[in-house]
Structure 1
Amino acid sequence: MLRAALAALLLAAPPALADEGHIEIHGAYAISPTPQSTTGAAYMMIHNHASEPDHLLSVASPAAGKVQVHDSSEVDGVMRMEPLAEPLEIPAGSVAMLQRGGTHLMFMGLADPWEDGESIPVTLTFEHAGEVTVDVPVDLSRLADAPADGMEDMDHGSMEGMDMGGEGD
């Protein structure tokens, strides 16, 4: 019996990782401020196990018309979100934190309202690791932990005129 258990452990599949394990995603979750919202956000830790930096080139999801990597900053007491001008770098042997109040994934033109507990499929495309697809759980309970600068209070002024990926595209 013990031998069978040990054999099963040795034959168990390793965790799903990209490019022979170079990129690993941890702690991912998504939120949307209200059921009527057309935007949402996702947060996670991206661990680069490689000996060279990698770059997050693009993000896609069938849950939204467009997904971008955004950065939050405070300007004159108002939180602003803007798309990163350059691909997000994940340093070699390090972790890039996508977190509230900082760099995060911004979903625009949601296909349907997000419900607590469902999973959002997200494909992250890296320069070296290629595509990594993750199912990001929606955790609306985390809205209660939102800082005063929650998404609904963000200034999206720099996004004016931007194609939000909604109907008519």
Structure 2
Amino acid sequence: MTSSRFGGALAAAAFLISAPAVAHVTFENGQANPNSTYKAVLRIPHGCDGKATLKVRVRIPEGIVAVKPMPKAGWKLETTKGSYVKAYQVHGEAVSEGVTDIVWSGALEDAHYDEFVFQVRFTDAYQPGATVYFPVVQECDGATEEWTQVPAAGEDPHSLRSPAPGVRIVGAATAPQVAKVGPLTVEQPWSRATPGGAKVGGGYLRITNTGTAPDRLIGGSFPLASKVEVHEMRMDGDVMRMKPVDGGLEIKPGATVELKPGGFHLMFMDLKEPLKEGQSVKGTLSFEKAGTIEVEYTVRGMGGAAPAEHKH
């Protein structure tokens, strides 16, 4: 691999592992369904100007009910309750008050990372397409980080210095996307949103071979990229390395292979424009024996995880 190609691969690996940017406080899963219960996993990646985090405060927005924070070993947990602006219907009952603030008190060194978990329910105050922002404040020894900025209409949240972590409301879950070519079945193609200026993106999916002979995924096409390559990430000692899969990725008879972050994946090279959350982008996959198949990638948020496995 040439030095420029190696440098590009390292940059791509860093993006695929760390997206979204580690500097900000974010949720592990940045999407939720309307009128649903949501498990919020808040990620705290650092302290305040090198100082340890002593308190994590979360403000619950109006329209969010049934708040249940998870106790955390070694941390004191406190909540504040109050009345809502209006009553909300939850399982046929009117709810007019509940938790409005959560505070964890303890100690988290600047060099360490941790997660703070709570459960909420989104009411019909938020419909698909809306993003709900949860202001978060880190209190440290003599310093504070306020993750409270909310983007104005049309403003890119990634341009804000201290954005509040958000959850985008998406449509109710539908049946998984399935495409077939010969004995191969491709399920749930997806990608992650990319920041402005990013030159690479990742493609993820599951491939099942129901035939009696092996096949190989050798590439494909993606309209927003100059080419598509099959790559692999793996630990080499203490270092995460990424490289193209020579000769393509083998799909053995009767096997299911999952392409996912941190393992085998597709690399969209030389992106022409950023991938945006909520997009659906059509592309193709090329197999050595089965040929070409059309697929459609759903672009999830930068913190998006793989779709839940669909049981047949």
TM-score (norm 1): 0.69
- Please show how residues 2-151 of structure 1 align to structure 2 within 5 Å: 16-19=179-182, 22-140=183-301, 143=303
Q: Which structure 1 residue ranges, 4+ long, deviate > 4 Å from structure 2?
A: none
Does the C-alpha gap of structure 1 residues 90 and 145 become closer, same or farther in structure 2, counting only changes over 3 Å?
A: closer
- Which consecutive unaligned segments of at least 5 residues does structure 2 have? 1-177, 307-312
Shift in Å, 1:124: 0.8
Separation in structure 2 between the aligned mates of residue 51 and residue 65 of structure 1, nearest angstrom:
34
**Structure 1 CA distance, aligned partners of 2:304 and 2:292?**
32
The percent of aligned pairs where both chains have the same amino acid is 34
Contact 1:46 1:95 in 2 (8 A): yes
**Alpha-carbon distance in structure 2 between the residues aligned to 1:131 and 1:145:** 27
Aligned-residue offset at 1:27: 2.3
Q: State the Cα deviation string for residues 107-135 of structure 1 (Å, max 9, x = none).
A: 11112111111112221111221111101
RMSD: 1.9
Give how far 1:33 is off: 4.0
Q: Is 1:63–1:121's contact at 8 Å kept on the other side of the alignment?
A: no
Runs of 5+ consecutive residues of structure 1 not aligned to the other structure:
1-14, 147-169
Cα deviations across residues 65-95 of structure 1 (Å, max 9, x unaligned)?
Answer: 1210000012342322110112111011211
Work out the CA distance in 2 between the residues paired with 1:82 and 1:23.
Answer: 25
Contact 2:207 2:258 survives alignment (8 Å):
yes
Code of the aligned partner of 2:234: S
Q: The residue matched to 1:101 in structure 2 has which SS? A: coil
Instruction: State which drifts further: 109-118 or 73-82.
Output: 73-82
- Aligned to 2:232, the other structure's residue is in SS state strand
Q: Compare the two structures and name the one with the higher helix fraction.
A: 1
CA distance in 1, matches of 2:205, 2:283: 12
| Aligned-partner Cα distance in 2 for 1:136–1:43 | 8
When Rg is computed on C-alpha atoms for both structures, the one with the higher figure is 2
TM-score w.r.t. the length of structure 2 is 0.39
- The number of equivalent residue pairs is 129
Contact 2:218 2:230 in 1 (8 A): no
